[in-house]
Amino acid sequence: MKKLIGKDLRLAHRIYLMLAALFICSLVVSNLIFQKFFFWNPFGLFRFEISVGLIPYPLTFLITDAVSEIYGRRKANDLVLAGIFASVFSIGIIYVANIAPATSTSPIQDGVFGSVFGATSIAITASMGAYLLAQFIDVQIYHFWKRLTKGKMLWLRNNFSTVFSQFVDTLAVLLLLCYNNLIPWDKFWLLMGSGFLFKVLVALLDTPLLYGIVYIARKLFNLEIGEEIHID
């Protein structure tokens, strides 16, 4: 664990805060927009039917892996807990906004607002449970492989941790949403397959991004392979 001082320490704090901001924004937004579904058929090979909430969500796993690699397990776990707090806070805001009566001149009336955000509290609650489990699994598996490979083979721990945790997350969220009748059960396996395969592809595609982030951090702070930054 490398201790920094002066400008290097301030820069490390700023980078951590920027990563945390992207993480929390991606998490909260994915829960707000989840009710819209779309299909994607890349090169005519496979038709994905997925929620638009999956577009920003994989970014959260990329960021926890980056923070795990650069700042260590404890700071990654702090990030996960911050995401839980932000999600709970967003539920409170949405609840108040939903019960506040719309005026007759309001461009968005209560019925429209309720249809868009009415299920959000249930969705966020379901997502939080799955998210908390999946993210902690991601961090634990990541550091298990980091110790096993002595800080080498970054691609291995990135993909192993993300693929397994994404499977757990997708399964848990769909079970909870189907149980609460937000998604019909006959859509379960289609959405499970599409959602998980989409996340696996994104995990593979984000590996070069993780390498880029880690490369920049090592250059900025003169880190050895496997070395982490101490910023407390």
Secondary structure, 3-state, 56-68: CCHHHHHHHHHHH
Q: What is this structure's pTM?
A: 0.80
Structure token digits, residue 74: 């404890």
Domain range for 153: 2-230
Within its chain, how far is the Cα of 59 from the centroid? 5
CATH number at residue 166: 1.10.1760
Q: What are phi and psi of 37, to 5 degrees?
A: -115, 150
Place of tokens 């400008």: 7
User: Please, which pLDDT band fits residue 130 given cuts at 50, 70 and 90?
Assistant: confident
Q: Using CA atoms of 172, 173, 175, 176 in order, give the dihedral in degrees to the nearest 10.
A: 110
Split into its structural domains, the chain has a count of 1
Two structure tokens written together for 149: 């490979």
Task: Report how far Cα 122 is from the mean position of its chain's Cα atoms.
Answer: 18
- pLDDT tens per residue across span 140-179: 887 788 888 877 788 778 777 778 887 887 887 788 778 7
Contact 218, 1 (CB under 8 A): no
